[in-house]
């Protein structure tokens, strides 16, 4: 289950991040960010499994694609900000 939301403010860095994750075979989905997480208006989210967050963070840091925010979707459907 993809329960981590890596938020990016525009589509091109989100696509670049997605391409980078694809290159190492890390499963994820690129989608428009839930409205409640897109504080500045429209944004994009890479959703991935919590256990993959460390690998994704390391890779996207190397690729210089910092997140606007990272959220964890909790079992009750709410979001908890876990970074940055």
Partner 1 sequence: MIYLDNAATTLQKPPEVASAMRNALQTCANPGRGGHAAARRAGELVYQTRALAARFFDLEPEQVCFTANATEGLNIALRTLVRPGSRVVISGLEHNAVTRTLAGLGAVVVPVTAPLFDADAWLAAFEAALTPRPDAVVCLHVSNVFGCVLPVERLGALCAERELPFIVDASQSAGLLPVLPKAWGAAFVAMPGHKGLLGPQGTGLLLCRSQPEPLRFGGTGSHSAQLEMPEELPDRLEAGTLNVPGIAGLGAGLSYLLRQSPTVLRRREAQLLQRTVAGLQQLGLSVFSGPAQTGVVSFRMPGQDCEEAAEAFADRGIALRAGLHCAPLAHRTGGTFPEGTIRLSLCALSRPSDVEGFLKAARQIRDQNAVRHAVP
Name the site residues for partner 1 (rule: CB under 8 A): 9-13, 15-16, 19, 30-32, 39-44
Nearer to partner 1, 38 or 53 (CB): 38
Measured from the CB atom, the residue of 36 and 51 that comes closer to partner 1 is 36
46: which 2 tokens?
A: 């890479």
Query: Which residue number, 30 or 48, has a Cβ lying nearer to partner 1?
Result: 30
Q: How far is the CB of 81 from partner 1 (least distance, A)?
A: 18
- For the bound state, the minimum distance from the C-beta of residue 15 to partner 1, rounded and expressed in Å, comes to 4
Beta-carbon contacts of residue 15 (< 8 Å; ≥ 6 apart): 30
């Amino acid at each position: 289950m993809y329960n981590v939301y890596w938020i990016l403010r525009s589509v091109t860095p989100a696509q670049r991040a997605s391409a980078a994750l694809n290159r190492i075979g890390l499963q994820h989905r690129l989608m428009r960010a839930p409205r409640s997480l897109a504080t500045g208006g429209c944004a994009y989210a890479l959703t991935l499994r919590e256990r993959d967050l460390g690998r994704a963070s390391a890779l996207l840091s190397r690729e210089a694609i910092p997140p606007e925010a990272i959220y964890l979707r909790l079992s009750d459907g709410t979001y908890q900000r876990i970074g940055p």
